[in-house]
Amino acid sequence: MAEVFRAFAHDLAAGRRSWDVETARFIAGQFDELASEWDATRATGRDDPLRDALDRGGPFPGGTCLELGSGTGLFTPLLGTVFPRVISVDLAEQMLHRAAGRSPVRVRADASALPAADARVAVIAAIDMLLFPAEVVRVLAPDGVLLWINQLGEDGPLYLPADDVAAALPGQWQAVEADAGWGTWAVLRRRTL
Closest to 70 (Cα-Cα) out of 90, 93, 49: 90
Chain-centroid distance of CA 108 in Å reads 14
**Burial of residue 138 (number of CB atoms within 10 Å: 0-12, 13-18, 19+):** middle
Three-class SS of 27-92: HHHHHHHHHHHHHHHHCCCCCHHHHHHHHHCCCCCCCEEEEECCCCCCCHHHHHCCCCEEEEEECC
Q: Where are the domains of the chain?
A: 2-190
Bridge partners (DSSP) of residue 140 are 121
Q: How far apart are CA 3 and CA 165, in angstroms?
A: 18
**Considering the entire predicted model, what is its pTM?**
0.91
- Encode the chain (193 residues) as per-residue pLDDT tens digits: 678 888 888 888 999 988 999 989 988 888 888 878 767 766 566 788 999 999 999 999 999 999 999 988 889 999 999 999 999 999 999 889 989 989 999 999 999 999 999 999 999 999 989 999 999 999 999 999 999 998 878 877 788 999 999 999 999 999 999 988 888 999 999 987 6
User: Do 102 and 76 contact (CB within 8 A), yes or no?
Assistant: yes
CA atoms within 13 A of residue 18's CA, in its CB half-sphere = 3
Give the domain 2-190 fold.
Answer: Rossmann fold (3.40.50)
